Amino acid sequence: MNFDPESKLIAKSSGFVIQQLKKMQQLKGIDLSDTIIHFTSQNCSCTQYSEAHKKEINIKAGKDGFNIINVSLPANLTTIIPATPAILIVDKAEQLLYFGPYSIGLACSESNGYVETVLQNYGKGYSASLIINDATGCYCNL
């Protein structure tokens, strides 16, 4: 399945995406500096494939000083998030580093992931502001 079949993320700036996500009830008033947010949706069978990947990300991110937030979304929510499971990584200035799926491909394995590269690069002083919408894998569209 395509991660963003309705093109919700096409031509959206990273600032716009952060702005939209901060309007969500679960994120209102929360400082997102150095934060990773895991988005899942109720009854999404694809979540099981990202659990091991999510744990590995949390271990690395915890060592690097990131806050971790888990957000479970209702399946019928209208939002900027096109599908779950998805992940948002925000830097210390609340700027978007990465938003999109954990990885691509049938099983969405770690070996096909973008997240580790983004975290590694951020640790070296680079920030990507990467929004991935053109990906195929196991996702549940919202």
Evaluated on CA atoms 32, 96, 128, 47, the torsion sign reads positive
Is 4 part of a structural domain of the chain? no
Q: 49-70: per-residue pLDDT in tens? A: 888 889 999 999 999 999 999 9
Region of 89 please: left (phi>0), alpha (psi -120 to 50) or beta: beta
Count of domains forming the chain: 1
Is 51 part of a structural domain of the chain? yes
Is 8 part of a structural domain of the chain? no
Nearest Cα residue to 57 out of 17, 113, 108: 113
Amino acid at 1: M
Residue in this structure with the two tokens 């209208």, named with its chain if needed:
78
CATH number at residue 64: 3.40.30
Q: 83-108: per-residue pLDDT in tens? A: 999 999 999 999 999 999 988 766 55
pTM beyond 0.85: the answer is yes
Which pairs count as long-range contacts for 118-121, CB under 8 Å and 24+ apart, including other chains?
118/89, 119/57, 119/60, 119/61, 119/64, 119/89
- Domain of residue 107, residue span: 14-141
As beta bridge partners, residue 96 has: 90
Residue ranges in 10-46 assigned as alpha helix (H) = 14-22
**Distance between CA atoms of 2 and 103, rounded to whole angstroms?**
12
Residue in this structure with the two tokens 């948002």, named with its chain if needed:
88
